[in-house]
Amino acid sequence: MTLQAYQEKAAACWAGCQQKHASLMANPNLSGGQKLAVHYFTVAMVLFMAQLLFGLLAGLQFIFPSFLYEILDFNVNRMVHINAMVVWMLYGFLGSVYWFLEDESGVEIVGLKWGQLAFWVLTGAVTIVVLVYLLIQIGSGTDTSLWLINEGREYIEAPRWADIGIVVVVLTFFYNVAATFAKGKWSGIAGVLTLDLVALAGLYLAGMFYVTNISVDQYWWWWVIHLWVEATWEVLVGCIMAWSLMKLLGVRRKVVQTWLYIEVALMFGSGILGLGHHYFWIGTPEYWFTIGGFFSALEPIPLVAMVVHSIYDAGAHKFKNSNHPALAWIIAHAFGNFLGAGVWGFMHTLPQINLYTHGTQWSASHGHLAFFGAYATINIAFFYLAAQQARGNVWMGGELVNGWRWKTAAVLLNLGVMGMTIALLIAGYEQSFIERAVEGSTWAGYFAAQNHPWFMQAMVWRMVFGLMTAAGGGLLFWDLLEIGKGEQRPAAVIDSEAVNP
Amino acid sequence: MTEQSPPRWASETFWKKTAIWVTGGSFVLLVILSFDSMKQISAGGPRVPAYSVINKDVSYRFDKAKQRYQPTIGNDAPLFGKTLSEEEAEKLVDHGKKTVQAKNCMNCHTLLGNGAYFAPDLTKAWLDQGWGAKESREQMMVNFLLDPEKNARTYGSNRKMPNLDITPPEAEAIVAFLKWMSSIDTNGFPHNFIALGEEDK
Ligand code: HEM
Ligand code: HEM
Ligand SMILES: [Fe+2]
């Protein structure tokens, strides 16, 4: 393609984006906060696609090690894969909160302009960070590299300048949320959500400094990673679920709020000290065996409670609702969270087994099912809620035009991730036995396990199911752009009496 | 339908209070434990040796009483033949740690078992039998880091570490960091690991 042709294409694409943007801003079906939410959801979906693409590249390198060698090495692909994941999920959460903020508080968002500015600043920063990851990749062993290129700490690799930018953006978001609730109604959900956001943002600070001592480094690194996904993110999702159950099924506020408090008590009561399951082997004292083992073993309890709660509510309200895709993804969330985090997490959380599984494909198996099951699902449910409203609150229940598309996407995504999880589980067992138990974790032992036919077969199956996942992701993207277009039937009105007792 | 108020233990206010107390209590406990852990894992403390440990022979042996492996600190064995002061050692290890971060090692390897699973764990890399003999180990490690492609020992996997433009001073610093890391008491992880020079003990 000539440069000119390329420029023309880029200009046409940009014009298309601007047109889409203009029509979004003029959409009469959405409130100000909801328009902002759609912005967040759009970027989230794009980053989700990037996550899948770079996951495929990294996965291929297990099978063909010379693929993209010294062009896009495994560490680069993997970093983009997991960073895209963390960022798209956070975009989804921010968007979800902006989505229901006005509904929940009963007033317009205070300081919406700042929220809009923050969105563009954040998106600009994310773009720059990703370009630097891909084009510059690594630096010399100096502070400058950590400030400008990448911090080299899994999941929170973003360079320091971006960390500071993220904190500023999150503070703006927090101001929007707190000020809006303060002006309108302070519901139980509002209270839990606001306090949870303070904790979520505060924890990020624990990952923003450099230390020489790697034990101290990993101690605080786990504060960010664990206390995010096993405490504050879970509670944030609990708030989002509480609101969704009221809206989608008409569950009474008193019921969901009581459940929310129960879940907070169980989740924080087990998850905060459950942090100790990461302190078995990093130099930290032996008492973490007992504390980490005990409390993390309790972590599945709130996840069971959430399944019971959502299934009970869905049954009690006879599954009557007019957004089937969203409801399906909420059910996938309840089960996925329980399976991926609860069951898969529990299986390797006691130190007696973790001694052998720690840092093997076992962790990757759990990581995939937990992040997908707990957090990808609930975000996708929200994308469908947004699509429905944006298209004029149309019917999205049974006999949907092109209903095959959302169903196929859901099946491909869930089967794909489940298949990858099982493949990695097999690889993880094999690695734990051969590398760890038999060979004593030497480098030779590591490669003996990696070269074993069982391991290599598992890597091939992971790719097969990875492609299935990616196909599902692409179909989901397409469906979200199209679903509900041309639909004339209005969504059924959920009994508002039940929503506001 | 008339509203019957739920029993106390199922009421909203009861669970609200419980949530606040449980969260607050757990957090306070975590903060107290964190202070204690910080004390125990500061460099030079009981579990994480001072950086000048790189002047000594480090190994890893089975402790009969504890029934687990544990690092051991032996006689003088200065790295690259130079005995360093505590400050010099800290500076060198610090440079190594910074290089490890800037080169993004953790997205292929694990360190203390955390990171990525594409390449071997680095926790005890210094002690690995793959380096052949203690005498040539330091130089082999430096050579490997400077040109991993040419010095690759892929054990038949064909997985090669890429050239990360590591400079000679950075390579020595990384080796110092790895040696220091291998001396951390990791509660017996990895289990059953036989260190270089411990084969027939
Ligand atoms: C939605 C919630 C959860 C998510 C998203 C999640 C995700 C992850 C991820 C990605 C890792 C690997 C971290 C790394 O790269 O080193 C991990 C590790 C771990 N998770 Fe979870 N997890 C969740 C919940 C749980 C629960 C509830 C448990 C226990 C009951 C658990 C137990 C563990 C353990 C023991 C490890 C350490 C594995 C190792 O030693 O290598 N997780 N988790
Ligand atoms: C196209 C499908 C996908 C493929 C081929 C893929 C591949 C990979 C690969 C090769 C790694 C590196 C593992 C290692 O270090 O050995 C990885 C890590 C990871 N991926 Fe994926 N992935 C895919 C989709 C997903 C999805 C949908 C999620 C979650 C929503 C996810 C979450 C993660 C996480 C959390 C890690 C880090 C795990 C750990 O450190 O334990 N991936 N993935
Ligand atoms: Fe955890």
CB of B133 within 8 Å of a chain A CB? The answer is no
**Interface check B2 vs A, CB under 8 A:** no
Same domain for A247 and A337, yes or no, is no
A143/B contact by beta carbon, under 8 A: yes
Beta-sheet pairing, B114-115 with B56-63 = unpaired
Kindly report the protein residue whose alpha carbon is nearest to atom 8 of ligand 1: A367
pLDDT of residue B68: 96
Is A193 inside any structural domain? no
- pLDDT classification of A234: cutoffs 50, 70, 90: very high
**Does some domain include residue A169?**
yes
Indicate whether A304 and A341 sit together in one domain: no
Q: Do A272 and B101 touch (CB under 8 A)?
A: no
Q: Give the pLDDT mean for A175-195.
A: 95
Which residue puts its alpha carbon closest to atom 39 of ligand 2? A364
Q: How far is A483 from chain B (nearest CA, A)?
A: 38
- Tell me the per-residue pLDDT of A290-349, one tens digit each, with 9 for 90 and over: 999 999 999 999 999 888 888 888 777 777 788 999 999 999 999 999 999 999 999 999
Residue A370 is part of a domain; what is its CATH number?
A: 1.20.210.10
The angle formed by the CA atoms of residues B46, B38 and B101, to the nearest 5 degrees, is: 100
Q: What six digits make up the tokens of A256?
A: 């969901």
B188 at interface of A, judged by CB pairs closer than 8 A: yes
Share of chain A above pLDDT 90, in %: 82
Per residue, the 3-state secondary structure of B128-197, as one string, reads: CHHHCCHHHHHHHHHHHHHCCCCCCCCCCCCCCCCCCCCCHHHHHHHHHHHHHHCCCCCCCCCCCCCCCC
Judge whether B19 is closer than 8 Å to chain A, CB to CB. Answer: yes
Q: Is residue A196 part of a domain?
A: no
More confident call, A480 vs A27: A480
> Residues of chain A with pLDDT > 70: what percent?
98
Question: Using a 6 Å CB cutoff, which residues line ligand 2?
Answer: A 52, 55-56, 58-59, 78, 81-82, 85, 363-364, 367-368, 371-372, 376, 417, 466, 469-470; B 116-118
Whether residue A254 is found in the same domain as residue A310? yes
User: Does residue A457 lie within any of the structural domains?
Assistant: yes
Q: Does residue B3 or residue A481 have the better pLDDT? A: A481
Which residues 167-186 of B have a C-beta within 8 angstroms of A? 167, 170, 173, 181, 184-186
Average pLDDT, chain A: 93
Sign for the pseudo-dihedral over CA of A22, A27, A31, A36: negative
CA angle at B167 for the pair B166 and B173, rounded to the nearest 5° = 85
Least confident of A253-262, A327-336, B6-15, B151-160: B6-15
| Predicted pLDDT of residue A496 | 45
Together in a domain, A297 and A332: no
Please tell me whether residues A475 and A383 are part of one structural domain: yes
Per-residue H/E/C for B12-77: HHHHHHHHHHHHHHHHHHHHHHHHHHHHHHCCCCCCCCCHHHHHEEEEEEEECCCCEEEEEEEEEC
Residues of A in contact with B122 (CB under 8 A): none
Q: Element (H or E) spanning A354, and its range?
A: helix A351-357
Residues 59-88, chain A, touching B (beta carbon < 8 A)? 61-62, 65-66, 69-70, 73-76, 78-79
Whether B108 has a pLDDT exceeding 60, the answer reads yes
Buried b (16+ CB within 10 A) or exposed e, B176-200: bbbbbbbbbbbbbbbebbbbbbeee
A72 and A93 both lie in a single domain: yes
Cα A467 to averaged position of ligand 2 atoms, centre (Å) = 13
| Residues B44-77 pLDDT 10s | 998 999 999 999 999 999 999 999 999 999 999 9
Q: What is the pLDDT of residue B134?
A: 94
Q: Does A209 touch chain B if contact means CB atoms closer than 8 Å?
A: no
Note which residues in 28-57 of chain A have CB less than 8 A from chain B: none
Tens digits of residue pLDDT in A26-85: 888 899 999 999 999 999 999 999 999 999 999 999 999 999 999 999 999 999 999 999
Set of chain A residues whose Cβ sits within 8 Å of the Cβ of B104: 75-76, 79, 137-138, 150, 152, 157
Q: Which amino acid is at A146?
A: L
Is the pLDDT assigned to residue B1 strictly greater than 70?
A: no
Per-residue pLDDT for A450 more than 70? yes
Domain extent at residue A329? 322-490
Domain count, chain A: 3
**Considering A254, A287, A317, which residue would you say is the last residue of a domain?**
A317
CA nearest B71: which of B124, B131, B122? B124
Interface predicted TM-score (ipTM): 0.96
Residues of A in contact with B94 (CB under 8 A): 212
* Chain B residue whose CA is closest to A456: B157
Residues of A in contact with B164 (CB under 8 A): 138
Is B56:B73 a contact under the CB 8 Å cutoff?
yes
> B110: part of which helix (H) or strand (E)?
strand B110-111
Question: Within this chain, do residues A402 and A332 fall inside the same structural domain, yes or no?
Answer: yes
Rounded CA gap, A370 and A424, in Å?
Answer: 13
Mean pLDDT across chain B: 95
| Residue A492 pLDDT | 77
Same domain, A132 and A173: yes
What single letter denotes the amino acid at residue B31? V
Q: Is-cis flag, bond preceding B190, omega within 30?
A: yes
Cα four-point dihedral sign A206, A210, A211, A215: positive
**Is residue A5 in a domain?**
no
| Centre of ligand 1 from the C-alpha of residue A278, in Å | 9
Q: Is the pLDDT confidence value at A501 over 50?
A: no
Provide the pLDDT for residue A498: 46
B residues 105-124 closer than 8 Å to A (CB):
105-108, 110-118, 120-121, 124
User: pLDDT band at B126, cuts 50/70/90?
Assistant: very high
Q: ∠ CA(A120), CA(A121), CA(A127), 5° rounding? A: 85
Structure tokens at A406: 């959302």
Range in A48-57, A139-148, A316-325, A476-485 with the lowest mean pLDDT: A316-325
The answer to whether B19 contacts A61, with C-beta atoms less than 8 Å apart, is: no
Record: contact A69-B38, CB cut-off 8 A = no
A399 in any annotated domain: yes
| Closest ligand by atom to A370 CA | 1
* Tokens read off for B123: 């926790």
Of A295, A317, A339, which residue constitutes the final position of a domain?
A: A317
Domain-ending residue, one of A287, A317, A347? A317
Query: Quick one: A164 and A309 in the same domain?
Result: no
Q: CA A257 → CA A190, A242, A254, A260, distances in Å? A: 10, 7, 5, 5
- Tell me the sheet residues that pair with B61: B70
CATH tag for B51-182 (out of 3.40.50, 1.10.760, 2.60.40, 1.10.101):
1.10.760
Q: Are A416 and A457 in a shared domain?
A: yes
Q: How sure is the predictor about A494, in pLDDT bands with cuts at 50, 70 and 90?
A: low
Euclidean distance between CA atoms B162 and A71, whole angstroms: 9
Q: Do A308 and A376 have their domain in common? A: no
Task: For B177-200, write each residue's pLDDT tens digit.
Answer: 999 999 999 999 999 999 999 987
| Best A254, A429, A443 residue to mutate vs chain B (most B CBs within 10 Å) | A443
Residue B97 has what pLDDT? Answer: 98
Count CB-CB contacts under 10 A for residue B140. 17
Compute CA distances B46 → A79, B37, B75, B88, B93, whole Å.
34, 11, 19, 21, 19
Instruction: Please report residues of B whose CB lies closer than 8 A to that of A239.
Output: none
Q: Whole-angstrom Cα distance, residue B110 to residue B115?
A: 4
What pLDDT does residue A14 have?
85
Atom of ligand 2 nearest to the CA of B108: 15
Among A414, A92, A269, A85, CA closest to B27: A269
φ, ψ of residue A424 in degrees (nearest 5): -70, -30
Q: Hey, what are A46's tokens?
A: 């794009």
CA B129, CA B132: separation in Å to the nearest integer? Answer: 6
What is the pLDDT at residue A499? 43
Task: Kindly state whether residues A268 and A352 are assigned to the same domain.
Answer: no
Ligand 2 mean position, distance from CA A302 (Å): 25
Task: For chain B, give every domain's residue range.
Answer: 11-41, 51-182
Based on the number of CB atoms within 10 Å of its own CB, is A421 exposed (0-12), middle (13-18) or buried (19 or more)? buried
Ligand 2 centre to CA of B2 (Å) is 52
pLDDT tens across A362-412, in order?
999 999 999 999 999 999 999 999 999 999 999 998 888 889 999 999 999
List of chain B residues whose C-beta atoms are within 8 Å of the C-beta of residue A450: 157, 159
Highest-confidence segment of A394-403, A410-419, B6-15: A410-419
In a domain, A13, yes or no: no
Query: How confident is residue B147, by pLDDT bands cut at 50, 70 and 90?
Result: very high
- Distance in angstroms (rounded) separating the CA atoms of residues A138 and A143: 12
Residue-level pLDDT at A315: 79
